[in-house]
Amino acid sequence: MKKKLKVLTALLISSITAISMFGCSSNNKTKEGKVTVRLNEVTRSVFYAPMYVAMKEGYFAENGIEIDLQTGQGADKTMQAVLSKSADIGFCGPEQTIYINNQGREDYPVLFGQLTQKDGSFVVGRTKEDNFKWQNIKGKNIIGGRPGGVPEMAFEYAMKHNNINPKTDVNMVNNIDFAATAGAFGRYIKERLFFY
Protein backbone atom coordinates (compact mmCIF):
# COMPACT_ATOMS: atom_id res chain seq x y z
CA MET A 1 0.00 0.00 0.00
CA LYS A 2 2.82 2.42 0.88
CA LYS A 3 4.54 1.61 -2.40
CA LYS A 4 1.35 2.36 -4.36
CA LEU A 5 0.96 5.67 -2.50
CA LYS A 6 4.56 6.63 -3.31
CA VAL A 7 4.16 5.68 -6.97
CA LEU A 8 0.87 7.57 -7.33
CA THR A 9 2.29 10.59 -5.51
CA ALA A 10 5.34 10.59 -7.77
CA LEU A 11 3.09 10.37 -10.82
CA LEU A 12 0.92 13.25 -9.59
CA ILE A 13 3.97 15.40 -8.81
CA SER A 14 5.51 14.63 -12.20
CA SER A 15 2.29 15.42 -14.05
CA ILE A 16 1.64 18.63 -12.18
CA THR A 17 5.29 19.68 -12.46
CA ALA A 18 5.24 19.16 -16.23
CA ILE A 19 2.00 21.05 -16.60
CA SER A 20 3.17 23.85 -14.33
CA MET A 21 6.35 24.22 -16.40
CA PHE A 22 4.68 24.17 -19.80
CA GLY A 23 1.01 24.95 -19.23
CA CYS A 24 0.99 27.82 -16.76
CA SER A 25 2.11 31.34 -17.42
CA SER A 26 4.92 32.99 -15.49
CA ASN A 27 2.43 35.10 -13.54
CA ASN A 28 1.50 31.95 -11.62
CA LYS A 29 4.70 32.23 -9.56
CA THR A 30 4.32 33.07 -5.88
CA LYS A 31 6.51 35.38 -3.84
CA GLU A 32 8.57 32.39 -2.71
CA GLY A 33 9.29 31.38 -6.31
CA LYS A 34 6.85 28.48 -6.25
CA VAL A 35 4.57 27.84 -9.18
CA THR A 36 0.90 27.93 -8.32
CA VAL A 37 -1.18 25.30 -10.08
CA ARG A 38 -4.92 25.88 -10.00
CA LEU A 39 -6.42 22.40 -9.80
CA ASN A 40 -10.15 21.80 -10.07
CA GLU A 41 -11.27 18.36 -8.93
CA VAL A 42 -14.67 17.08 -9.99
CA THR A 43 -15.59 16.16 -6.40
CA ARG A 44 -14.04 15.72 -2.98
CA SER A 45 -13.52 11.97 -2.96
CA VAL A 46 -11.57 9.23 -1.26
CA PHE A 47 -10.47 8.44 -4.81
CA TYR A 48 -8.10 11.43 -4.66
CA ALA A 49 -6.73 10.53 -1.20
CA PRO A 50 -3.12 10.15 -2.44
CA MET A 51 -3.21 13.74 -3.73
CA TYR A 52 -4.64 15.03 -0.43
CA VAL A 53 -1.90 13.19 1.45
CA ALA A 54 0.76 14.59 -0.88
CA MET A 55 -0.58 18.09 -0.30
CA LYS A 56 -0.82 17.66 3.48
CA GLU A 57 2.66 16.13 3.75
CA GLY A 58 4.18 18.91 1.67
CA TYR A 59 5.33 16.80 -1.29
CA PHE A 60 4.24 19.44 -3.80
CA ALA A 61 5.78 22.27 -1.78
CA GLU A 62 9.08 20.37 -1.64
CA ASN A 63 9.04 20.46 -5.44
CA GLY A 64 8.25 24.16 -5.73
CA ILE A 65 4.55 23.71 -6.43
CA GLU A 66 1.69 25.32 -4.59
CA ILE A 67 -1.69 23.71 -5.28
CA ASP A 68 -4.75 25.96 -5.34
CA LEU A 69 -7.43 23.26 -5.00
CA GLN A 70 -11.03 23.91 -6.01
CA THR A 71 -13.91 21.46 -6.20
CA GLY A 72 -16.12 21.74 -9.28
CA GLN A 73 -19.06 19.58 -8.11
CA GLY A 74 -19.46 17.98 -11.53
CA ALA A 75 -17.31 17.25 -14.57
CA ASP A 76 -19.15 19.88 -16.62
CA LYS A 77 -18.27 22.55 -14.06
CA THR A 78 -14.66 21.34 -13.84
CA MET A 79 -14.31 21.57 -17.62
CA GLN A 80 -15.92 25.00 -17.57
CA ALA A 81 -13.23 26.12 -15.08
CA VAL A 82 -10.49 24.84 -17.41
CA LEU A 83 -12.02 26.45 -20.51
CA SER A 84 -12.50 29.78 -18.73
CA LYS A 85 -8.87 29.60 -17.59
CA SER A 86 -9.81 29.77 -13.90
CA ALA A 87 -8.17 26.33 -13.53
CA ASP A 88 -4.95 25.02 -15.05
CA ILE A 89 -5.87 21.36 -14.58
CA GLY A 90 -9.24 19.66 -14.24
CA PHE A 91 -9.61 16.22 -12.71
CA CYS A 92 -12.66 14.73 -14.44
CA GLY A 93 -13.60 11.98 -16.81
CA PRO A 94 -12.46 11.93 -20.43
CA GLU A 95 -15.98 12.40 -21.77
CA GLN A 96 -15.79 16.15 -21.21
CA THR A 97 -12.86 16.45 -23.63
CA ILE A 98 -14.82 14.46 -26.20
CA TYR A 99 -17.90 16.66 -25.80
CA ILE A 100 -15.83 19.83 -26.21
CA ASN A 101 -13.96 18.43 -29.22
CA ASN A 102 -17.27 17.43 -30.86
CA GLN A 103 -18.43 21.04 -30.57
CA GLY A 104 -15.76 21.95 -33.12
CA ARG A 105 -13.89 24.35 -30.86
CA GLU A 106 -10.46 25.41 -32.00
CA ASP A 107 -9.05 25.63 -28.48
CA TYR A 108 -10.00 22.37 -26.82
CA PRO A 109 -8.51 20.83 -23.68
CA VAL A 110 -5.76 18.26 -23.82
CA LEU A 111 -6.47 15.00 -22.05
CA PHE A 112 -3.76 13.19 -20.17
CA GLY A 113 -4.74 9.88 -18.71
CA GLN A 114 -3.90 6.81 -16.70
CA LEU A 115 -3.48 8.61 -13.42
CA THR A 116 -5.57 5.74 -12.11
CA GLN A 117 -6.15 2.18 -13.19
CA LYS A 118 -9.66 1.64 -11.86
CA ASP A 119 -12.86 3.59 -11.56
CA GLY A 120 -13.14 5.15 -8.12
CA SER A 121 -16.86 4.63 -7.67
CA PHE A 122 -18.62 2.71 -4.96
CA VAL A 123 -22.14 1.79 -3.89
CA VAL A 124 -23.45 2.92 -0.51
CA GLY A 125 -26.51 1.36 1.11
CA ARG A 126 -28.58 2.12 4.17
CA THR A 127 -28.13 -1.23 5.85
CA LYS A 128 -25.03 -3.29 6.49
CA GLU A 129 -24.60 -6.25 4.16
CA ASP A 130 -21.95 -8.72 5.21
CA ASN A 131 -22.32 -10.68 1.98
CA PHE A 132 -23.18 -8.20 -0.77
CA LYS A 133 -24.50 -9.68 -3.99
CA TRP A 134 -25.27 -7.63 -7.08
CA GLN A 135 -28.69 -9.27 -7.27
CA ASN A 136 -29.56 -7.41 -4.03
CA ILE A 137 -29.91 -4.12 -5.93
CA LYS A 138 -32.71 -5.39 -8.17
CA GLY A 139 -35.87 -3.33 -7.72
CA LYS A 140 -34.04 -0.60 -5.76
CA ASN A 141 -33.91 3.15 -6.27
CA ILE A 142 -30.33 4.16 -6.99
CA ILE A 143 -28.95 7.67 -7.33
CA GLY A 144 -26.65 7.46 -10.31
CA GLY A 145 -24.44 9.91 -12.08
CA ARG A 146 -25.05 12.09 -15.07
CA PRO A 147 -26.13 10.04 -18.12
CA GLY A 148 -23.15 9.90 -20.47
CA GLY A 149 -20.68 10.54 -17.65
CA VAL A 150 -17.90 8.06 -16.93
CA PRO A 151 -19.13 7.14 -13.41
CA GLU A 152 -22.63 6.36 -14.70
CA MET A 153 -21.27 4.40 -17.66
CA ALA A 154 -18.89 2.44 -15.42
CA PHE A 155 -21.73 1.61 -13.03
CA GLU A 156 -24.00 0.50 -15.86
CA TYR A 157 -21.16 -1.67 -17.19
CA ALA A 158 -20.72 -3.26 -13.75
CA MET A 159 -24.44 -3.95 -13.50
CA LYS A 160 -24.58 -5.51 -16.97
CA HIS A 161 -21.49 -7.56 -16.17
CA ASN A 162 -23.42 -8.91 -13.17
CA ASN A 163 -26.59 -9.70 -15.16
CA ILE A 164 -28.55 -6.63 -14.08
CA ASN A 165 -30.29 -4.52 -16.69
CA PRO A 166 -29.92 -0.86 -15.64
CA LYS A 167 -33.03 0.08 -17.62
CA THR A 168 -35.43 -2.53 -16.20
CA ASP A 169 -33.97 -4.13 -13.05
CA VAL A 170 -33.33 -0.95 -11.03
CA ASN A 171 -34.74 2.57 -10.86
CA MET A 172 -31.80 4.84 -11.71
CA VAL A 173 -32.39 8.40 -10.50
CA ASN A 174 -30.36 10.70 -12.77
CA ASN A 175 -32.14 14.03 -12.37
CA ILE A 176 -30.37 15.22 -9.21
CA ASP A 177 -27.60 17.80 -9.50
CA PHE A 178 -24.24 16.27 -8.64
CA ALA A 179 -23.68 18.54 -5.62
CA ALA A 180 -27.06 17.49 -4.17
CA THR A 181 -26.74 13.70 -4.44
CA ALA A 182 -25.45 13.09 -0.91
CA GLY A 183 -28.20 15.26 0.57
CA ALA A 184 -30.84 13.55 -1.56
CA PHE A 185 -29.63 10.16 -0.36
CA GLY A 186 -29.80 11.31 3.24
CA ARG A 187 -33.26 12.74 2.88
CA TYR A 188 -35.23 11.17 0.04
CA ILE A 189 -33.79 8.04 -1.51
CA LYS A 190 -33.82 5.41 1.19
CA GLU A 191 -32.03 2.55 -0.52
CA ARG A 192 -28.76 3.00 -2.41
CA LEU A 193 -26.44 5.67 -3.67
CA PHE A 194 -23.83 5.14 -6.34
CA PHE A 195 -21.04 7.51 -5.49
CA TYR A 196 -17.54 8.44 -6.53
From CA 196, how far away is CA 193, in angstroms rounded?
A: 10
Tell which wins on pLDDT, 26 or 170: 170
- CATH code for the domain in which residue 21 is found: 3.40.50
In a domain? residue 114: no
**Predicted local confidence at residue 101, as pLDDT:** 86
Supply the range of the domain harboring residue 158: 122-195
Q: Which of 68, 102, 136 is the last residue of a domain?
A: 102
The pLDDT of residue 143: 85
Evaluate whether residue 116 is within a structural domain: no
More confident residue, 118 or 58: 58
Contact between 37 and 89 (Cβ < 8 Å):
yes
Q: 31 and 94 share a domain?
A: yes
| pLDDT confidence of residue 24 | 47
Beta strands in 54-140 (DSSP E): 65-71, 89-91, 122-125
In-domain check, residue 117 = no
Q: Using the 3D structure, point to which of 48, 68, 102 is the last residue of a domain.
A: 102
| Of 98, 104, 121, the residue nearest 47 (C-alpha) | 121
Q: What is the pLDDT of residue 179?
A: 74
What's residue 109's pLDDT? Answer: 86
Q: 77: how many CB neighbours lie within 10 A of its CB?
A: 18
The pTM of the whole model exceeds 0.85: no
pLDDT digits (tens, 9 = 90+) for 14-39: 555 555 444 444 456 655 778 999 99
Residue 169: which residues within 8 A CB-CB, separation 6 or more?
Answer: 137, 138, 139, 159
Residue 161: exposure state from Cβ atoms within 10 A (0-12, 13-18, ≥19): exposed
Whole-number Cα distances in Å, 175 to 147, 172, 184:
9, 9, 11
**Residues 151 and 88 reside in one and the same domain:** no
Claim to verify: residue 139 and residue 75 sit in the same structural domain: no
Q: Of 1-5, 32-36, 66-70, which range is least confident? A: 1-5
> Which pLDDT tens digit goes with each residue over 78-89?
999 999 999 999
Give 96's contacts (C-beta < 8 A, 6+ positions apart). 75, 76, 78, 79, 90, 109
Based on the domain organization, do 10 and 98 belong to the same domain? yes
Same-domain pairing of 97 and 135: no
